[in-house]
């Protein structure tokens, strides 16, 4: 190899290294915080039995930089299931949520909702929900906290008005457990959800895949309600849940992904 060729190779390697670092930094910069730590700007509240935008009893609030789902202004729970919708419809992305359960469940709430919350993906728009509708049509990545007695996995799947394919078969159960361990109620837990349109959804905790499924689509009744000609669900909104137990979220971040070829 001539001296000139040698220096060209060295220069090429240096530029390649610089490009790799730049790409890594660029990738990190693409994570977008969806919470501003001050208020609910960019989000819309919908609570069962109440008009769109009515944050009934100050259920969703931001305090000390943390988004809190609170029930300190509720004398009792009467089915006011809440959802906080992000403003933008999404299709291909990674979503990272860091949450923990705190305090006591609201009085007279259902037993199954103890330390129960979650994030919904691929949902209908908040504007298309009926006033008394309990949950939006979509896919729920369910968060559960340990109750001190039973095993309770988190990052489970629930499917209001929808169906998915799992292990080659259509899943007809409303909720399917993940393979995660049980996390105590007050422990911070980070769940990451990777969504590729209609193709696949995968949930991970600490880098380990705990849930995966494919081909989400609408049940016939939901398809009729939404007046959709195509049952496939390839995009939708994300919504943070309020299901009667106080929960805190200190991180909700989005990384956009390119569309699958």
What is the model's pTM? Answer: 0.88
The sign of the dihedral angle between the CA atoms of 255, 61, 108, 181 is: positive
Question: Cα–Cα distance between 151 and 112 in angstroms, integer?
Answer: 14
Residue whose tokens read 């049952």: 231
Q: Which residues, including other chains, have CB under 8 Å from residue 34's CB and lie 6 or more apart?
A: 42, 86, 252, 253, 254
Six token digits for residue 240: 């943070």
Q: Is 80 helix (H, G, I), strand (E, B) or coil?
A: coil
Closest by Cα among 133, 120, 134 to 244: 134
pLDDT in tens, the chain (261 residues): 554 544 444 444 444 444 444 444 444 548 999 999 999 999 999 999 999 999 999 999 999 999 999 999 999 999 999 999 999 999 999 999 999 999 999 999 999 999 999 999 999 999 999 999 999 999 999 999 999 899 999 999 999 999 999 999 999 999 999 999 999 879 999 999 999 999 999 999 999 999 999 999 999 999 999 999 999 999 999 999 999 999 999 999 999 999 866
CATH of 34-256, one of 2.60.120.560, 1.20.58.760, 3.50.50.60, 2.40.30.10: 2.60.120.560
Beta bridge partners of 136: none
Q: How many helices (H) and strands (E) does the chain have?
A: 2, 17
Q: Does residue 188 contact residue 102 with C-beta atoms inside 8 Å? A: no
Q: How would DSSP label each residue in 58-93? A: G-EEEETTEEEE--TT-SS-SS--EEEEESS-BSEE
| pLDDT score at 41 | 98
CA distances for 175 relative to 158, 160, 162, angstroms: 4, 9, 11
Residue whose tokens read 């930089």: 65
Question: Cα–Cα distance between 82 and 45 in angstroms, integer?
Answer: 7
Sheet holding 237-242, edge to edge: 43-47, 82-86, 237-242, 116-123, 139-144, 156-158, 175-176
Q: Does residue 142 contact residue 158 with C-beta atoms inside 8 Å? A: yes
């Amino acid at each position: 190899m001539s001296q000139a060729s040698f220096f060209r190779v060295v220069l090429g390697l240096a530029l390649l290294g610089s490009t790799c670092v730049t790409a890594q930094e660029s990738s990190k910069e693409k994570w977008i915080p969806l919470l501003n730590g001050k208020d609910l700007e960019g989000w819309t509240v919908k609570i069962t039995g109440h008009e769109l935008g009515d944050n009934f009893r100050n259920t969703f609030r931001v305090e000390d930089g943390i988004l809190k789902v609170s029930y300190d202004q509720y004398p009792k729970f009467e089915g006011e299931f809440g959802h906080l919708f992000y403003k933008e419809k999404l299709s291909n992305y990674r979503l990272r949520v860091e949450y923990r359960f705190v305090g006591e469940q609201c009085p007279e709430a259902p037993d199954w909702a103890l330390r129960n919350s979650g994030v919904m993906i691929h949902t209908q728009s908040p504007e298309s929900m009926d006033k008394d509708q309990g949950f939006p049509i979509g896919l729920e990545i369910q968060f559960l906290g340990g109750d001190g007695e039973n095993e309770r996995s988190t990052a489970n799947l629930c499917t209001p008005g929808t169906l998915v394919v799992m292990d080659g078969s259509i899943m007809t159960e409303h909720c399917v457990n993940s393979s995660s361990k049980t996390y105590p109620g007050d422990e911070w837990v980070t769940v990451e959800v990777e969504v590729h349109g209609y193709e696949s959804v995968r949930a991970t905790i600490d880098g380990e895949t705990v849930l995966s499924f494919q081909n989400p689509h609408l049940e016939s009744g939901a398809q009729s309600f939404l007046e959709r000609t195509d049952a496939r669900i390839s995009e939708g909104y994300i919504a943070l849940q309020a299901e009667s137990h106080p929960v805190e979220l200190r991180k909700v971040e989005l990384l956009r992904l390119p569309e699958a070829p």
